[in-house]
Amino acid sequence: MSEIFELPGHFIRRLHQISVQAFHARARAAGHDLTPVQFVALEAVRTTPGIDQASVAAMIAYDRTTIGGVIDRLVEKGYLKREISPRDRRARVLTLSAAGKRILDEFTPAVLALQADILCGLTEEERRTFLALARKATRALHPEEVASD
């Protein structure tokens, strides 16, 4: 087999594919039409009510241009409300709707349980080490992402 298949990028890509497939399977099983990016965008709004769209993109490390479509779909699904900012009439702020809060409350436990499935081949200690190393590598490339440890 080619050494290309032993490079970190290959395994990162494969693990991402596996993670997304597992997320979609759990979402379908729970009766939810939600993508991983939509889920984390909802969580960003839950943790920071009144956040603007550009700040959501920065918080979840997502492209500012593409986040618009994500937010539009969440508004269309009735999970988010978009309103004029009381501080800047040109800006729009986001808050969770009752349906958005309900889907997060219902689906978050499944997403948390899914994390163990994604790394099921690792011991608990190896998972902690993996996460510490992934966090370190990510922050070396993007030091502005300083979420709490």
pLDDT digits over 59-69, tens only?
A: 999 998 899 99
Inside any domain, residue 146: no
Inside any domain, residue 148: no
Inside any domain, residue 147: no
What is the 3-state composition of the chain as percent helix, strand, coil, each rounded to the nearest 5?
A: 65, 10, 25
Q: What's the rounded Cα separation, in Å, for the pair 95 and 79?
A: 9
What are 23-54's pLDDT values in tens digits? 999 999 999 999 999 999 999 999 999 999 99
Q: For the CA atoms of 112, 9, 64, 50, what is the dihedral angle to 10 degrees?
A: 20
Inside any domain, residue 120: yes
Report residue 146's pLDDT band, with 50, 70 and 90 as the boundaries.
Answer: low
Per the structure, the complete domain to which residue 51 belongs is given by 3-141
Q: Tokens for 70?
A: 């994500």
For the segment 141-149, the average pLDDT, to the nearest whole number, is 66
In the chain, how many domains are there?
1
Please report, for the domain that includes residue 18, its CATH number: 1.10.10.10
Inside any domain, residue 111: yes
